Amino acid sequence: MLHALRQAAAIAFYVLGASFFVAAVLLRNTVGGNVPAWWMQVADLPLALSALLYAGLSLYESVRPGQGHSRMIAVAVTAPLAAFFVLLLALNFWPR
């Protein structure tokens, strides 16, 4: 189950990352009007979430004991990643 979720997060990360690359090229060449800039503002949190999900699941799978599950390791991996995502949320929605 965790392996499939990690693969889904990886696919989402690569698709969103590629769309960011395309949007940056379009924005640099002034093609597409405001749509590339809008996309880069809207899809930044899903990209960060997929990256953190992939990183957390990869780290958990690499340090867990054998094929068992460890709640302590899961909390130790999840807590800093969740705190970092909350920081990204705060920075994204901070009034300018």
pLDDT in tens, the chain (96 residues): 888 999 999 999 999 999 999 999 999 999 999 999 999 999 999 999 999 999 999 999 999 888 888 899 999 999 999 999 999 999 999 988
Q: Which two tokens stand for residue 67?
A: 């094929």
Q: Is the whole-model pTM more than 0.85? A: yes
Q: At what angle do helices 71-93 and 44-63 cross, to 10 degrees?
A: 160
Q: Report H helices in the chain.
A: 2-28, 35-42, 44-63, 71-93
Non-local CB neighbours of 46 within 8 Å, separated by 6+ positions: 12, 16
What pLDDT does 1 receive? 84
Q: What's the pLDDT at 65?
A: 80
3-state secondary structure of 26: helix
